[in-house]
Chain A
Amino acid sequence: MGRLWTYVLRYWRRYVLGALCLLGTVSLVMWIPWLMRGAVKVIEQGGSLWDVRYYAALIAVAGVAQGVIRTFSRAFIFNAGRDIEYDIRNDLFAHLEKLPVGFYHAQRTGDLMSRVINDISAVRSLLGPGILNFVNAPAYYLYGIVLMFSIDVRLTLVALLPCPLLMYAVRRFRGRILKSSLSVQRQMAELSSHIQENLSGMHVVKAYTQEANQIRDFVELNRDFQDKNMELARLRGLLGPVMQALAGMMILLVVGYGGWRVIRGDLLIADIVAFIAYLHVLAWPTAAFGWMLSLIERGRAAMERLEEIFKIEPAIASPAVAQAVGNGKQGIEFRNVSFAHDGKVNGEAIIKDIDVVVPRGRTLGIVGRTGAGKSTLAQLIPRLYDVSSGEVRIGGRDVRSLSLGELRKVIGYVPQDPFLFSTSLARNLAFSRDEVSDEEIEAAVQTTRLDRDVAIFPEGLQTIVGERGITLSGGQKQRATLARALVADAPFLVLDDCLSSVDAETEDVILRGLRSAIDEKTCVIISHRISAVKEADEILVLDEGRVIERGTHQDLVARGGLYADLYRQQQLTEELEHID
């Protein structure tokens, strides 16, 4: 909750102004029944018409004035709430941008989204309507009770008889509504996560004719959702009428008991009129009271959910004093690097004691079995993950001593999973920088041989690629991500199996193009195909997170180990052919 206060304090002026306006409104509103009482008193006791009209005029003035002031109070407070909502949403987004990849792997997209959208909205309701009623209700009650007492003590006491019942009802409902609405929220998240996943995997659903199963699961979740909604509707629906009935009872008591006293002659009808008017005024803060409490509870729960995210320190961040990226002779170095996802380095490590130097301008090739840890190793360079022990250096400096932005700016990275944004191809390619010239894009398009594909697209580079690049072929997607990295034109380049869906012919042309494009760059190339790495200055063979062989292509082939096997296997067909 501490965080919430800092936001509220940021806008304290508007809250104070809003609260003052509210108090003004309340005063005027509470004045009106008093004036009415005056008017009725004149009528009851037979005064002059102009006395009545005097009161009527005052009521009109008070009514208009309270309307004007009320507009301001609501605008001040609600808009402050909107400003805070905006601030929190921005801050949360900025915070999310700092959280490392590991965080996102452990989260469901749907859940994160609902925090940024729904939970922040709930907090906003707490800060707008919540605070407004928080000021309002006590003010009305205080005024109301004082004024009623000043009219008649006994009648006030009788009128307030149902109050304990009211308190009881509020207490009973409050927790239950909160719990119920939270479970509706949660079930909603479940439901939309299911829908989202079903739609993202629609090609699999269709290919395996899983429609019926998917619908069955959905129906089940949907039924739960319906039940939870009904439960909430029952509680919410009950609170209003209960409050209304209790308020009605108060008026009834006033009419009954007060009327008896009027008949006895020790009370004026004017007093009863004023009481009824006051009770009417109080009816709504009363009803709103329970609602407000559940609003506050919900807002607090939502804030807690936000706090869960806010309090995660970005595990990977720039150091307090960042060094500049060095330009030492050593390009990329792995020094005794080990890595495990939970940070503990023992049997479960994915990278184990890797020690490699890639001199500046040279190329390192990495091959190895599926799941050997190649991608994980590559991800350590731009600090998508941090080493568990040892260090990764770039240009002679520990990557952790550099500013994160600087580090990543000098690395062009092509992830194994091609991810494109749902905008035009051109904008995807120019993603790395604000200003990219057409020539640069053209060059990258040439190098990755996208030119032929683009030539076929009716809209050329302006083709919208769909979510995740859905309207491109597998190879086109991969080459687009490669081109995107080339446009970034960074001195270090990491290519993670980025030509696996590309045919040999295109691959060959791309590799040759790349070789000249990356002449001065320091590269790490991961591949399953010997063709992509055999030109490298050094090749690592990884297995179970360890380097089991290293050397140049010739060395490794000569050595007759795993790499030579791999090479032989990839040549196998040819040998068979020769045997034929």
Chain B
Amino acid sequence: MANPIEPTNGAARNGKQSAFRPAPDQQPEEEYGKAYDIRLIRRLWRFLVPYKRLFFSALLLLPLLQVCGLAQPYLMKIAIDRYMAGGDLRGLLGIAALLMVAVLGEAVSGYAHYYLTMLVAQRSLADMRVAIFAHVQKLPMSYFDRNPVGRLVTRMTSDVDVLQEMFAAGAMTVLSDFVMLVWIVAIMLYINVTLALVSLALIPPMFFAINFFRHKARRTYRLIRERIARINGYLGEAISGMAVIQLFTREEKSYREFDELNAAHRDANQLSNVYEAALYSMVEAAGSVSLALLLWYGGGEALAGAIGIGTIVAFKEYINRFFVPLRDFSQKYTVMQSAMSSAERIFQLLDTPIAIDNPPKPIVPKPFTGEVRFENVWFSYKPDTPVLKGVSFTVQPGERVAIVGATGSGKTTTIKLLSRFYDIQGGSIKVSGVDVRDWDLSALRRHIGVVLQDVFLFSGDVRTNLTLGESGVSDECIAEAVRCANVERVLSRHSDGLGAHVRERGSNFSTGQRQLLSLARVLVFQPEILVLDEATSSVATETELLIQDALEKVMEGRTCLVIAHRLSTIRNADRIIVFHHGEIREMGTHAELMQKQGIYYKLYQLQYATDEAPKPVDDDTAAKL
């Protein structure tokens, strides 16, 4: 269709940032490569396979669409040259009827093609989103240490969106566009060779010009995507940390930083606007100049009667139909390119090995004894900086063991290893006599209930935070957990009880209250091995003691590992392990350790020194620790 006027294309694409890309994406994201990468297309194709019938039906409509479109100028030519000039009214009406068929055919097949394509796109992309989400659930924790949440959200939302755009913008039909261009040239040549050559004279120079702008535009598109990702990242962090920004009155500084990102984004966009405007206008101008050439040369032919007016009209139409895809092609090409780079990143994510996965023959030992055994465990997060250095200890079934030690000494790491959040580099960790790497992963984790130091509440209500949406949790079970963890008091302020609303990250509860809620959560799940990592560090001592008494019953017969800095928390432990710089320095009962007069003894003295003045610790001992 002739289109000398403002397009919807460029503008619509720029305005369509429907995807919300929240957090940091510091690294340059966009690697613009080829627009068609066979390897990637083959993988994309796998997502289309389930819908290949729909897909091929959509493709089959394309020839129909093209025939209906290309027939119209030709029919007009006949209408004018043969029937209007020839004064044949019946023939004219016949042609009009054909024209009507072509117009309707173009509209209907156009709609059907679009609809089918979108159906395929939506369904396969929805599948893809689920595939990514499900894959991400299996990735090891180390992956999440390195990759900002925002970037992963981007993969599942805006990157998939870019693929959708590829379908919507008709980038998939670029090939058939080519076919159409060939057809147009063929038809024009068929009608009149010299006229065709004259009208298409501008195409070679146009080709170069479009190529030039495409290169320019491609660079700016890459910049734009990179920069909006930065804005996203910055914004996400600024919103989460707004209290800190305000407390340190860094508003102006963050504003300046934001402004810089924002301005960079604007500049890239304005540059691309100029390129787009120039390219667009150039194609329009070329269309008019071609028309002028057509008349310049064709005028003589027409006057000589060699061609009819209808031929000129048809040629004008064909020129338009030729230039529009040519112009759009540059846009489709960029869409295609960014789709390929999105696909690349998505597949990269999907290819990220599930470093921590079920073994080929997962074991679920029966009976489950609850014994935990660390044997010469070596572990480091980053190469060459071991966090655990040959840790060995055993927790007997039903035993209660406390882990204490200086901050950063590797206590949390130890229990993360127990649940196999990370895999160790040396030694072995056995639960119930079986190495955790041979365990069925989810069975292992279901046996171990961990309250992590990093309390996390989901937005929703208290009940779903306790059950995590697990069905089949009895009300008594919840009530018992609530009572045990002293959550009743927390809820007393809320009229809705368990239905009390929980805001993002539990921001409407005090820090201690959040800890109590996450403690209650583990109790709801009634695990065989209970692991508490500083589970009550921000809870008042009084409450803590109440909880401990209540936990007595819960812990009965369960293996328990308790990490705490406050020694009052671990007063009921059977045995105490003292960590120091990733090694076990002392191990034994309270009495034994007191006797030893080592680290534990000192910690104990510090906390319970009865004299009112703080006991000075000479620098010697401090240095030793």
Contacts and interface: CB of A to CB of B under 8 A. Distances in A.
A408 interface: yes
B243 A415 contact: yes
Contacts of B525: 208
B61 interface: no
A245 B69 CA distance: 12
B76 A201 contact: no
A52 B295 contact: yes
Given A288-B8, A291-B8, A453-B408, A203 B281 contact: no
A327 interface: no
Given A471-B381, A569-B541, A569-B545, A106 B503 contact: yes
Given A208-B525, A467-B148, A473-B412, A60 B292 contact: yes
A74 B280 contact: yes
Interface string B496-516: 000000011101111111001
A192 B118 contact: no
A230 B118 contact: yes
6 contacts: A98-B251, A121-B15, A215-B130, A233-B118, A233-B119, A504-B565
In the A-B complex, the 6 residue pairs with the closest CB atoms: A63-B288, A475-B407, A67-B285, A52-B299, A125-B15, A370-B512
Interface residues of B, number: 208
A256 B93 contact: yes
A461 interface: no
A165 B103 CA distance: 16
B309 A197 contact: no
A382 interface: yes
Contacts of A53: 295-296, 299
A497 B511 contact: yes
B504 A59 contact: no
A245 to B, nearest CB: 4
A263 B299 contact: no
Interface in B98-138: 99-100, 103-104, 106-108, 110-111, 114-115, 118-119, 122-123, 125-126, 129-130, 133-134, 136-138
Contacts of A44: 309
Interface in A206-249: 206-211, 213-215, 217-219, 222-223, 225-226, 229-230, 233-234, 237-238, 240-242, 244-245, 247-249
A9 interface: no
Given A252-B103, A505-B406, A114 B281 contact: no
B20 to A, nearest CB: 4
A424 B263 CA distance: 25
A202 interface: yes
A90 B153 contact: no
Contact of B282 (A67, A122, A375): A67
B4 interface: yes
Given A100-B246, A230-B118, A284-B5, 10 more contacts: A32-B288, A55-B295, A67-B284, A192-B20, A206-B141, A245-B106, A252-B96, A263-B92, A458-B385, A502-B565
Nearest to B79: A255
A431 B164 CA distance: 41
Interface stretch (A76-84, A152-160, A171-179, A437-445): A76-84
A223 B122 CA distance: 10
Contacts of B133: 195, 198, 214-215, 218, 222
B614 interface: yes
Interface string B61-83: 00000000000100010011001
A72 B384 CA distance: 60
Contacts of A132: 6, 11
A488 B18 CA distance: 41
Given A43-B299, A53-B299, A502 B273 contact: no
A63 B616 CA distance: 90
Nearest to B505: A200
B226 to A, nearest CB: 15
Of the candidates B236, B288, B591, the one having the most CB atoms from chain A within 10 angstroms of its own CB is B288
B423 interface: no
B262 interface: yes
Contact of B141 (A85, A203, A280, A453): A203
B38 interface: no
B313 A276 contact: yes
B277 interface: yes
Contact of A384 (B17, B247, B292, B296): B247
Contact of A226 (B123, B287, B442, B602): B123
Nearest to A500: B537
A417 interface: yes
B225 interface: no
A145 interface: no
B48 interface: no
Interface residues of A, number: 212
Given A208-B445, A213-B468, A456-B385, A79 B270 contact: yes
Interface stretch (A182-190, A331-339, A392-400): A182-190
A167 interface: no
Contacts of B3: 283-284
Given A82-B273, A188-B20, A370 B540 contact: yes
Contacts, number: 613
A288 B9 CA distance: 10
Interface string A344-374: 0000100000000000000000011111100
Interface string A98-114: 11110011101110111
By secondary structure, the A interface counts as helix
A162 to B, nearest CB: 11
A230 B122 CA distance: 7
B541 A217 contact: no
A169 interface: no
Of the candidates B6, B145, B456, the one having the most CB atoms from chain A within 10 angstroms of its own CB is B6
Interface stretch (B182-190, B328-336, B369-377, B446-454): B446-454
B41 interface: no
A196 B155 CA distance: 11
A46 interface: yes
A207 B445 contact: yes
Contacts of A415: 243-244, 247
Of the candidates A79, A222, A371, A500, the one having the most CB atoms from chain B within 10 angstroms of its own CB is A371
B538 A285 contact: no
Given A195-B153, A501-B565, A59 B130 contact: no
Interface in B369-425: 381-382, 384-385, 404-408, 412, 419, 421
B441 to A, nearest CB: 8
A24 to B, nearest CB: 12
A554 B312 CA distance: 106
Contacts of A90: 255, 258-259, 262
A413 B236 contact: no
A255 B99 contact: yes
B295 A569 contact: no
Contact of B104 (A114, A226, A245, A283): A245
A96 B419 CA distance: 41
A199 interface: yes
A508 B606 contact: yes
Nearest to A371: B510
A317 B297 CA distance: 74
Interface string B573-612: 0000000010000000011001000010011101110101
A10 B375 CA distance: 71
A518 B99 CA distance: 89
A287 interface: yes
A206 B421 contact: yes
A312 to B, nearest CB: 14
Interface in B12-37: 12, 14-15, 17-24
A301 B525 CA distance: 45
A531 interface: yes
Interface stretch (B227-235, B337-345, B359-367): B227-235
Contacts of B607: 504, 531, 570
A105 B242 CA distance: 11
Contacts of A36: 291, 295, 316
B149 A199 contact: yes
